[in-house]
Amino acid sequence: MNIKVIAVGKIKELYLKDAFKEYQKRLLPYCNFTLIEIPAEQIYDNTETEKYKEIEAEKILNCIKDNDFVITLEINGKMYSSENFALKLKDIINEGVNEIVFIIGGANGLHQKISDVSDLKLSFSKMTFTHQMVRIILIEQIYRAFKINLNEPYHR
């Protein structure tokens, strides 16, 4: 199984980089994991936020293949318990999907073009998290899902 995370921007804080690397290492036995960081556009004019989001969207779209299963992280997406998220991933994998792509937008969110290609819109909470924190939460939940699906200890 191939899992790819496409994220706008970079993780800046060392402790968050370390946490992400730890979960990348933990995922090695379960999947091929790739992180693609799309540079965040510098916003010089707040009235043109959509234009900047569209530029980011084009870069994201260039990283997606037609047969990828695309999951976008969106505030109004579907919320799952960890167990139900694990089951959802299992169902996607069992459908014969070769690559699952998770997309995390930048500080201004995702352009509608990205939301439109999404096969599943996912939300972790109604609360707002930094996009750097969302990466850690996402990779931890992916790892937890593999552990749950294989009945391995960790998730309790």
Tell whether 19 is covered by a domain. Answer: yes
Tell whether 155 is covered by a domain. Answer: no
How much is the mean pLDDT over the chain? 94
CA distance 137 to 93: 21
CB atoms within 10 A of CB 152: 11
CA distance 1 to 45: 41
**β-strand partners of 70:** 101
Look at residue 125 and give its three-state secondary structure.
coil
List pLDDT tens digits, range 127-141. 988 889 999 999 999
Percent of the chain with pLDDT over 90: 82
Question: Which residue range is the domain that position 124 belongs to?
Answer: 2-149
CATH number at residue 86: 3.40.1280.10
pLDDT value at 48 more than 90: no
CB atoms within 10 A of CB 70: 21
In the structure encoding, which two tokens stand for residue 32, read together?
């091929």
